[in-house]
Structure 1
Amino acid sequence: MSIVAVTVFVAAYALIASDRINKTVVALVGAGIMLAAGIVGSRDVFYSPETGIDWDVIFLLLGMMVIVSVLRQTGVFEYVAIWAVKRANASPRRIMILLVLVMAIGSAMLDNVTTVLLIAPVTLLVCDRLSINPAPFLMAEVFAANIGGAATLVGDPPNIIIASRAGLTFNDFLLHMAPIVAIVLAALVALLPLLFGPITVEADRVADIMSLDEREAIRDRRLLIKCGAVLLFVFAAFVSHPVVGVQPSVVALLGAGVLILISGLDRSEYLSGVEWETLLFFAGLFTMVGALVKTGVIDDLARAAVDATGGNEFLTVMSILGVSAPVSGIIDNIPYVATMTPIVTELIDVMPGNVHPNTLWWALALGADFGGNLTAVGASANVVMLGIARRAGTPVSFWEFTRKGIVVTMVSTLLAALYVWLRYFVLT
Structure 2
Amino acid sequence: MMMNAQVGFALTLVITLVAQALLPSHRLLIVLTGAALSCAGAALAGVASVVAVFAGLPWNVLLILVALGLFTHRLADTQVFGLASVALVRLARAHPVGLLVLSTLGTYAVSSVVNNLTALLVILPVLLTVFALAGVSQRFVVWSLGLMLVACNLGGAATPIGDFPAVLLLGSGAMSFEAYLRAAMPATLLALALLIGLVLALRPAQDVPVTPLGRRLTLATLSQLYRGVHLDWRLLAPCLGALAFMVAGWLLLPPAWGIGPEMVAWMGAGLVLLAQPTHGEAALKRAVDVEAVLFLLALFLMVGVVRETGLFGDLAALLQSVPLTPEGQLVLFLVVAAVLTGLFSAGPSMAALLEVADVLSQQMPGDAVYVGLALAVCAGSSLFLTAATAGPLMQSLAERAALRDVHGRPVQFGFREYLGVGLLGFTVILAVAIGRTLWVIR
TM-score normalized by the length of structure 1 = 0.73
Structure 1 match to 2:277 = 261
SS of residue in 2 equivalent to 1:9: helix
CA distance 1:71–1:176, change in 2 (3 Å): closer
2:27 pairs, out of 12, 20, 23, with 23
> d(CA) in 1 for partners of 2:338 and 2:329?
14
> d(CA) in 1 for partners of 2:334 and 2:375?
7
Matched, 1:340 2:356: yes
* Maintained 8 Å contact 2:369/2:437: no
Structure 1 match to 2:430 = 413
Structure 2 match to 1:236 = 244
> d(CA) in 1 for partners of 2:167 and 2:252?
13
CA distance 1:125–1:187, change in 2 (3 Å): same
Structure 2 match to 1:128 = 129
Deviations 1:227-277 (A, max 9, x none): 211220232134221323443641464155225516599x4x997776554
Shift of residue 345, structure 1, vs aligned partner? 3.5
Structure 2 match to 1:353 = none
> d(CA) in 2 for partners of 1:139 and 1:283?
30
SS of residue in 1 equivalent to 2:94: coil
Residue correspondences, number: 403
Shift of residue 339, structure 1, vs aligned partner? 0.8
> d(CA) in 1 for partners of 2:268 and 2:146?
25
Q: Which amino acid aligns with 2:270?
A: L
SS of residue in 1 equivalent to 2:427: helix
Q: Which amino acid aligns with 1:91?
A: H
Shift of residue 104, structure 1, vs aligned partner? 2.5
CA distance 1:147–1:7, change in 2 (3 Å): same
Structure 1 stretches lacking a partner, 5+ long? 349-355
Shift of residue 389, structure 1, vs aligned partner? 5.7
* Pairing of 1:29-428 with structure 2 (within 5 A): 29-38=33-42, 43=51, 46-49=54-57, 54-56=61-63, 58-60=65-67, 62-64=69-71, 66-68=73-75, 70-72=77-79, 76-108=80-112, 110=113, 113-114=114-115, 116-118=117-119, 120-131=121-132, 139-155=146-162, 158-159=165-166, 170=178, 172-173=179-180, 176-192=183-199, 206-212=215-221, 214=223, 217=226, 219=228, 224-240=232-248, 241-244=250-253, 245-247=260-262, 249-251=265-267, 253-255=269-271, 257-258=273-274, 260-261=276-277, 263=279, 267=282, 276-309=290-323, 312-329=325-342, 330=344, 332=347, 333-336=349-352, 338-348=354-364, 358-374=367-383, 382-383=388-389, 386-387=392-393, 390=396, 394=400, 404-421=421-438, 424-425=441-442
SS of residue in 2 equivalent to 1:383: coil
CA distance 1:179–1:188, change in 2 (3 Å): same
CA distance 1:122–1:422, change in 2 (3 Å): closer
CA distance 1:93–1:337, change in 2 (3 Å): farther
Structure 2 stretches lacking a partner, 5+ long? 254-259, 402-412
Shift of residue 125, structure 1, vs aligned partner? 2.8
Worse-matched range after superposition: 312-321 or 394-403:
394-403
> d(CA) in 1 for partners of 2:202 and 2:294?
31
Shift of residue 94, structure 1, vs aligned partner? 2.8
* Maintained 8 Å contact 1:101/1:144: yes
CA distance 1:26–1:147, change in 2 (3 Å): same
SS of residue in 1 equivalent to 2:245: helix
SS of residue in 1 equivalent to 2:57: coil
> d(CA) in 2 for partners of 1:58 and 1:409?
26
Worse-matched range after superposition: 30-39 or 133-142:
133-142
Structure 2 match to 1:352 = none
> d(CA) in 1 for partners of 2:352 and 2:91?
41
CA distance 1:116–1:169, change in 2 (3 Å): same
CA distance 1:193–1:294, change in 2 (3 Å): farther
* Maintained 8 Å contact 2:78/2:233: no
Shift of residue 143, structure 1, vs aligned partner? 1.9
Shift of residue 127, structure 1, vs aligned partner? 0.9
Shift of residue 53, structure 1, vs aligned partner? 9.3
> d(CA) in 1 for partners of 2:67 and 2:383?
23
Worse-matched range after superposition: 97-106 or 113-122:
113-122
Deviations 1:349-399 (A, max 9, x none): xxxxxxx78544554444344444345676xxx435645764786598777
Shift of residue 298, structure 1, vs aligned partner? 3.5
Q: Which amino acid aligns with 2:195?
A: L
Shift of residue 185, structure 1, vs aligned partner? 1.0
Deviations 1:292-323 (A, max 9, x none): 3333334433332232145x333234234333
Q: Which amino acid aligns with 1:226?
A: R
> d(CA) in 2 for partners of 1:375 and 1:408?
10
Structure 1 match to 2:15 = 11
CA distance 1:387–1:195, change in 2 (3 Å): farther
CA distance 1:158–1:242, change in 2 (3 Å): farther
SS of residue in 2 equivalent to 1:347: coil
Q: Which amino acid aligns with 2:337?
A: S
Deviations 1:152-172 (A, max 9, x none): 5555554566577566672x4
> d(CA) in 2 for partners of 1:271 and 1:135?
38
* Maintained 8 Å contact 1:337/1:368: no
> d(CA) in 2 for partners of 1:136 and 1:282?
31
Shift of residue 6, structure 1, vs aligned partner? 2.8
> d(CA) in 2 for partners of 1:9 and 1:399?
28
Deviations 1:398-427 (A, max 9, x none): 7776775444222221233234445653xx
Shift of residue 347, structure 1, vs aligned partner? 1.4
Worse-matched range after superposition: 407-416 or 383-392:
383-392
TM-score normalized by the length of structure 2 = 0.71
